[in-house]
Amino acid sequence: MTSPQTYEQQVAAILRELGVPASFGSDSAMPLYREATDLVPVGTDIYGRQQRLAPAAASCWQAMQMAAQQQGVSLVLVSAFRSVAYQRQIWERKLKAGESVQKILSVSAPPGYSEHHTGRAIDMTAPGCAPVIEQFETTVAFAWLLANAGAFGFSMTYPRSNRYGVIYEPWHWSVPEMAA
């Protein structure tokens, strides 16, 4: 009888299957994230899918979204919690489309390493702005976030030239674990 794999072993097996270098975890500044298990609904995203966050992050998001709305700014949810399995599906679609592992690593964390697994990260857009594009930084919503998100516990995880080597993601914001 074989013993069950640890979470780390499961993630390592998935990364091998996707062709991610075995050294990724030790070479990358990105931490391995565990999947949140306590999640609450926070509304639908731009695609009509129900999204969920960890309870404290959900409270921060809802308060921030309401405060922005009261100031005439609309923060539109694109994505929240993602399971390791869902992150794997994202990767598999990109690989099937012919993208290289290196290209995918620059724009998408591999399964196990996505901050979305924690239930404390969200991707946002604004009305009239396509999702997950750098032009989000030109919106009133982004300017509002820069001025106000910190008061609600949120910070931008991937600013320009970030330590993770991930592209600039003005749409991706998270609440630190201690706040959530």
pLDDT of the residue at 1 = 46
**Measured distance CA(138)–CA(172) in Å, rounded:** 15
Dihedral, 162, 168, 172, 175 alpha carbons, nearest 10: 20
Ordered structural domains, the chain, with CATH: 7-174 (3.30.1380.10)
Q: What pLDDT, on the 0 to 100 scale, is given for residue 24?
A: 86
Quote the CA–CA distance of 151 and 147 in Å, as a whole number: 9
Beta-carbon count within 10 A of 108 CB: 17
Report the predicted TM-score, pTM, of the whole model to 2 decimal places.
Answer: 0.92
Q: Which residue has the tokens 């706040």?
A: 179
Angle at 26 between CA 170 and CA 115, to 5 degrees: 30
DSSP 59: H
DSSP 36-49: P---EEEEE-TTS-
Helix (H, G, I), strand (E, B) or coil at 172: strand
Residue 31 and residue 113: Cα distance in Å, rounded? 6
Reference 131, options 57, 45, 54, 62; nearest CA is 45
Residue 18 CA from chain centroid, whole number: 19
Q: Give me the tens of pLDDT residue by residue for the chain, a chain 180 residues long.
A: 455 789 999 999 999 999 999 888 777 788 999 999 999 999 999 999 999 999 999 999 999 999 999 999 999 999 999 999 999 999 999 999 999 999 999 899 999 999 999 999 999 999 999 999 999 999 999 999 999 999 999 999 999 999 888 899 999 999 997 554
